[in-house]
Amino acid sequence: MKKFLIKSLFVFALTLLVFSCDNSKIEDKSMSSDKHEGTHVKKQDCNDVHWSHHEGEEGPAHWKDLCDAFAACGGQAQSPINIVTNETSVGTNLNQIQIHYDSTPVDIINNGHTVQFNVSGNNTITLGEKEYKLLQFHYHAASEHTINGNHYPIEVHFVNQYSDSDYSVVGAMFEEGTANELFTEYLAEFPESKGEYTSENTIDLEKLLPSNLDYYYYIGSLTTPPCSEIVNWYVLKTPIKASKEQIEKFAGILHHNYRPVMPLNDRKVLSYNK
């Protein structure tokens, strides 16, 4: 049985602790003093700062100026990027992604910036010697990364954490095709505006990924403020399928929640094939 639950403040506080696209807690260093840059006074605290994916004063071009803790948004190793496939090189030191995701209960949250699935339990990926724990996954429409200049309609990000300064995000593109099982089950329940849906069912997380896990790799950032440059990006080469209707409905809920691509600067994109 599924039901809507009004979350207690306690649970709400817990969800705030979970790393999210919309969570400045990850680099929540309060500022000690006002900074004056010409006539522009930066806000001291980023906690209550509004930001948007859409053009305007709170849009991506201005994130770095909204408050001090968003300054990384103007950094040199930002995400997403355009991946030019014939300019990538083979990563000889890269590892196969070992997925150890289970059937897991999830809370589905529309936080105003994305639809996010917060997961509990011990779901991990192993990359070489390191084990990263899955915290949540969420969606962008259109895709944030572009491949040879082209967007896909949707991109999902699986956010895995090793430490406060070491994340591995697995990104997968969606393309039109057969209906997607997860969407078939949950699309009708996705909160269309800010809100939360708690399912008593579990999701078999491993089924959400394509069977071929070949990827492009580069070092980048969170794609939302505070844009911390703490992310190993694994952008999967094989897209996931969803039906045209599913993609259109979900993209409507997500409402253009992608950051435009950022300059590669002196970074390299590596390619891994099993």
Q: Tell me, yes or no, if 140 is annotated catalytic.
A: no
Where in 157-176 is the site for Zn ion (CB under 5 A)?
A: 157
CA 83 to chain centre: 17
Where in 130-159 is the site for Zn ion (CB under 5 A)?
A: 157
Q: Are strands 130-140 and 115-119 parallel, antiparallel or unpaired?
A: antiparallel
- Indicate the residue among 157 and 237 with the shorter CB distance to Zn ion: 157
Smallest distance, Zn ion to C-beta of residue 22, A: 10
> Do you know the residue count of the chain?
274
**CA angle, 193 then 112 then 62, to 5°:** 145
Smallest distance, Zn ion to C-beta of residue 21, A: 5
Instruction: For residue 156, give the amino acid letter.
Output: V
**Which tokens belong to 89?**
């090189």
Distances (CA, A) of 133 to 16, 22, 94, 137, 160: 17, 19, 19, 12, 5
**Which tokens belong to 31?**
């500022």
Smallest distance, Zn ion to C-beta of residue 250, A: 14
Q: How far apart are CA 226 and CA 72, in angstroms?
A: 7
- Indicate the residue among 179 and 253 with the shorter CB distance to Zn ion: 253
Which member of 113, 138, 151, 157 is catalytic?
A: 113
| Residues 112 and 196 sit within 8 Å (Cβ to Cβ) | no
- Indicate the residue among 43 and 133 with the shorter CB distance to Zn ion: 133
Smallest distance, Zn ion to C-beta of residue 147, A: 16
Residue nearest to Zn ion (CB): 157
- Indicate the residue among 31 and 83 with the shorter CB distance to Zn ion: 83
Question: Considering CB under 5 A, how many residues would be counted as binding Zn ion?
Answer: 1
Q: How far apart are CA 129 and CA 259, in angstroms?
A: 32
Binding site for Zn ion (CB under 5 A): 157
- Annotated active-site positions, please? 113
